Structures are given as structure tokens and as C-alpha cells.
């Protein structure tokens, strides 16, 4: 999906200057987290180290020498496009694949939101250990701006456990609870941490929500949701839920950005149960500039968890914390989400700085939330997880 191939020397040569610029500014590879603050260990970090950037810059400055072809490594073998990302890990395609009906995006047209409801067909409860969602074809990726899958089921237990995130997140009325999975450019899917899972109940339904966008070519496509289950009888201890944590006080409907101005807002979400924060995935549109997630502990101490200082709407990177650093927060902690917007001509992505901007689904309107998976746990389990983390850290330090 990138504008060019970077497989051979001949492919790369004409792009050398652009590559130099993109890697120095850390626009490429796409990974827009501020490296100077917050957690820096992620499961899916594709960024370059300072030394790697240095090597590329020196090579370009030296006139892009080809070197000795004998030393050339073999071209990278890319995975088969039609295969599921986790197929090799789990030994085959997902256990359950749910497809949305085909949708035809016209050559020219307004953005469309398609929300079909598809029964899962489940007749017994099943625990989910990995989920993937993607447009069915490579062409479909061009027109599918994002795809959401909500899980609709009668679930009194979840209502209690997840209320800390879901209710407060919905303060602006923009997003409903019960989210299951979300797809946007740059996101690969989701594997639950050990002993954690999402629970699907009999009679459940998937409510898809696809945002389709015309690109000057008629394309018909659908979205596929692939689910890997834990084996029957194997029940993970912890239940994980996906929440859209609002970054704007009172909800996204309070976004109010006059022409030629900047805007910042923040929101505070209390943890009504202890839990582990699994990831950070900021979501804004074209005026989005930065978003951060901090934790305020019951003691009053504030910790920066993550800050995306270089938000780019073309990318919806999901920053998934490594097992040994995923924040463990006690009941009563508060998540503080802040988002910054730039509606001036300084923002290169701004389609029109003369427009007032408010909340809306269209990319020219704005939003502000972070997709965050939270694994809730009892206070007892929380204490045990904290003790285990301490012990593991000590062992790791001794081994170093």
C-alpha cells in the first residue's frame, strides 16, 4: 500500500532523498510515539534506532553507493497477502470467520457508513485468544477507511466490570460500549496476553461499522473478522475489554475549534476496578496533532504512560505494551487523556484552516478518543500481579 516498492537497489535509488527526510523526521517507518517520555517497550515496535537512522543518512549523504552486489542480502520474502496474520502462530485460519455483506464503493461519492448486523452463530460461551479484522481484498484496503466490530450480547457481568471505561467514554454519546475489535491502517490484529481473553456468549451478534471512502475507482469489497478461540474447557482467568476513552472533556461533541486556531482538551476516566492497560491507540482526524495518556494514582502521583507527539491521520498505529511494562493500575487510579488539535495553515494535513471544526464522523470533522484494551481484575489478583511483576523485574535485573 506504500507509494513505492523498496525491495531492490533500483527501487530505492530514486527515493533516497525522500527516505533521508522521512527517517530523520521519524515519519517512516510509521511509529509516531514521543521517544523522550513514557513507556518505550512495545510488542510491535517497528521504529528505527538512532544508529539505524544514522546509517541511512550517511549512506544517502555519501551518494547512495550500491556497494558490492556480492554482499547484497536476499530480498525479503513477504507473507502471502491472502493469509491471516496469525495463521502460522496458531496453525491455521481462525476458528470463526464472520463476513460483512459486499458493499460497492462508487468511483465518486460521499463517504458512507455501513452497519450490518451478523449473528455469530455461537451456541455456547467461548473465550477469545486472538482477533483479526481486515478488508477482504488488497483493493478493498484503498476504500475502507476503518472497520469496527461491536459485540452485541446480553452480558450483566461485563456491564459491571467495564463500566469504568465504557460509561465514561460514552459521556459524549459518540461511542457505545461493547466494542470488540477495530481495524484501521497500520493495525495487525490483537493477541490476548497469557491467561486473558474476551468472552463471546451464545446468541451474540457482531455489529459491523465500515467507513467507506471513494477513491476514483469503483471497488466492491467486504470485511472479514477472524476469531481464534481458547480450546474448549480452557478458561482464561482475566477478561479484557476494549474501550474508546474520550480525550475531550464531556465527550467529542464538545470539540469546538474556530478557524485558524488550535485546541486542547482533556478528560479524566476513573478506574472503578483495578486493571492492566494493554495498549494505546490515539484516534483523531485531520486536525489531530498529539495525544497523551497519563495515569494519576490514588496517591496523587502522575505518570506519563504514552505520548504520540507526531500524530498523522494516515496512520492508526496501535502501541501495544510489552508484557513486563503494561501498566498495572489500582482501583481508584484515573486515566487522563489529552488531545491537541491544529486548525491553522501550519498543519500540513489541514484541508481548510478557514473552517470551524466540530465533532463528526467525516474525516474533515473531528474526534478525540484512544482505543484502549483494559484487563480488569479483583484487588487480590491485582496485588498478586504487582508482586509477580516485581519478582520478574528483579530476576531480569540480576540476569543483566
Rounded to a whole number of angstroms, the minimum distance from the CB of residue 184 to ligand HEM is 12
If one asks whether residue 188 binds ligand HEM (CB under 6 A), the answer comes out as no
Grid coordinates representing 158 are 461485563
CA angle 94, 97, 101 (to 5 degrees): 155
Rounded to a whole number of angstroms, the minimum distance from the CB of residue 314 to ligand HEM is 4
Rounded to a whole number of angstroms, the minimum distance from the CB of residue 100 to ligand HEM is 24
42 in Cβ contact with 321 (< 8 Å): yes
To which H or E segment does residue 374 belong? strand 369-377
If one asks whether residue 60 binds ligand HEM (CB under 6 A), the answer comes out as no
Using the contact rule CB under 6 A, the part of the chain among 22-30, 72-80, 277-285, 303-311 near ligand HEM is 22-30
Interatomic CA distance for residues 81 and 342, integer angstroms: 37
If one asks whether residue 30 binds ligand HEM (CB under 6 A), the answer comes out as yes
- Select from 35, 41, 46, 115 the one that contacts ligand HEM (CB under 6 A): 46
Neighbours of 200 (CB within 10 A): 22
Q: Which one, of 292, 244, 283, lies nearest residue 264 by Cα?
A: 292
Interatomic CA distance for residues 391 and 397, integer angstroms: 10
Using the contact rule CB under 6 A, the part of the chain among 24-32, 95-103, 139-147, 199-207 near ligand HEM is 24-32
Q: Count residues binding ligand HEM (CB under 6 A).
A: 15
If one asks whether residue 3 binds ligand HEM (CB under 6 A), the answer comes out as yes
Rounded to a whole number of angstroms, the minimum distance from the CB of residue 289 to ligand HEM is 16
CA angle 335, 337, 338 (to 5 degrees): 150
If one asks whether residue 57 binds ligand HEM (CB under 6 A), the answer comes out as no
Interatomic CA distance for residues 63 and 79, integer angstroms: 32
Grid coordinates representing 13 are 535509488
To which H or E segment does residue 391 belong? helix 379-399
Using the contact rule CB under 6 A, the part of the chain among 25-33, 92-100, 108-116, 209-217 near ligand HEM is 25-33
Between 282 and 321, how does the x/- string for binding to ligand HEM read (CB under 6 A)? --------------------------------x-------
Residue 151 buriedness (CB in 10 A; 0-12 / 13-18 / 19+): buried
334-342 and 262-270 strand pairing: antiparallel
97 in Cβ contact with 224 (< 8 Å): yes
Rounded to a whole number of angstroms, the minimum distance from the CB of residue 73 to ligand HEM is 15
If one asks whether residue 18 binds ligand HEM (CB under 6 A), the answer comes out as yes
Rounded to a whole number of angstroms, the minimum distance from the CB of residue 243 to ligand HEM is 26
If one asks whether residue 5 binds ligand HEM (CB under 6 A), the answer comes out as no
Interatomic CA distance for residues 343 and 341, integer angstroms: 6
Using the contact rule CB under 6 A, the part of the chain among 21-29, 232-240, 348-356, 375-383 near ligand HEM is 21-29
| Interface residue list for ligand HEM (CB under 6 A) | 1-3, 15, 18-19, 22-23, 28-30, 46, 48, 186, 314
Amino acid at each position: 500500500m506504500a507509494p513505492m516498492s523498496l525491495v531492490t537497489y533500483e527501487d530505492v535509488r530514486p527515493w533516497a532523498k525522500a527516505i533521508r527526510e522521512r527517517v530523520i523526521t521519524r515519519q517512516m517507518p510509521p511509529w509516531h510515539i514521543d521517544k523522550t517520555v513514557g513507556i518505550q517497550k512495545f510488542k510491535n515496535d517497528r521504529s528505527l534506532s538512532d544508529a539505524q537512522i544514522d546509517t541511512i543518512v550517511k549512506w544517502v549523504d555519501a551518494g547512495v553507493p550500491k556497494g558490492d552486489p556480492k554482499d547484497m542480502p536476499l530480498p525479503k520474502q513477504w507473507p502471502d497477502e491472502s493469509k491471516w496474520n496469525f495463521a502460522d502462530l496458531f496453525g491455521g485460519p481462525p476458528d470463526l470467520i464472520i463476513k460483512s455483506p459486499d458493499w460497492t464503493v462508487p468511483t465518486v461519492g460521499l463517504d458512507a457508513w455501513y452497519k450490518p448486523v451478523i449473528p455469530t452463530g455461537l451456541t455456547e460461551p467461548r473465550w477469545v485468544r486472538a482477533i483479526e479484522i481486515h478488508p477482504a481484498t488488497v483493493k478493498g484496503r484503498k476504500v475502507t477507511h476503518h472497520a469496527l466490530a461491536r459485540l452485541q450480547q446480553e452480558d450483566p457481568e461485563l456491564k459491571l466490570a467495564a463500566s469504568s471505561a465504557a460509561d465514561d467514554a460514552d459521556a459524549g454519546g459518540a461511542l457505545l460500549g461493547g466494542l470488540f475489535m477495530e481495524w484501521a491502517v497500520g493495525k495487525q490484529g490483537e493477541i490476548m496476553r497469557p491467561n486473558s481473553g474476551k468472552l463471546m456468549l451464545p446468541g451474540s451478534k457482531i455489529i459491523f461499522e465500515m467507513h467507506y471512502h471513494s477513491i476514483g475507482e469503483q471497488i466492491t469489497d467486504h470485511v472479514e473478522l477472524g476469531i481464534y478461540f481458547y480450546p474448549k474447557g480452557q478458561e482464561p482467568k482475566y477478561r479484557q475489554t476494549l474501550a474508546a476513552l474520550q480525550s475531550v472533556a464531556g465527550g467529542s461533541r464538545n470539540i469546538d475549534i474556530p478557524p485558524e486556531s488550535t485546541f486542547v482538551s482533556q478528560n479524566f476516566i476513573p478506574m472503578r476496578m483495578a486493571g492492566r492497560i494493554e495498549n494505546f491507540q490515539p484516534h483523531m482526524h485531520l486536525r489531530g496533532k498529539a495525544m497523551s495518556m497519563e495515569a494519576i494514582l490514588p496517591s496523587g502521583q502522575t505518570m506519563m504512560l504514552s505520548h504520540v507527539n507526531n500524530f498523522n491521520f494516515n496512520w492508526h498505529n496501535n502501541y501495544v505494551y510489552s508484557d513486563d511494562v503494561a501498566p498495572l493500575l489500582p482501583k481508584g487510579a484515573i486515566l487522563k487523556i489529552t488531545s491537541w488539535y491544529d486548525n491553522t495553515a501550519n498543519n500540513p494535513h489541514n484541508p481548510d484552516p478557514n473552517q470551524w471544526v466540530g465533532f463528526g464522523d467525516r474525516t474533515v470533522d473531528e474526534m478525540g478518543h484512544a482505543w484502549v484494551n483494559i484487563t480488569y481484575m479483583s484487588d487480590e489478583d491485582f496485588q498478586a500481579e504487582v508482586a509477580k511483576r516485581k519478582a520478574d523485574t528483579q530476576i531480569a535485573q540480576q540476569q543483566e
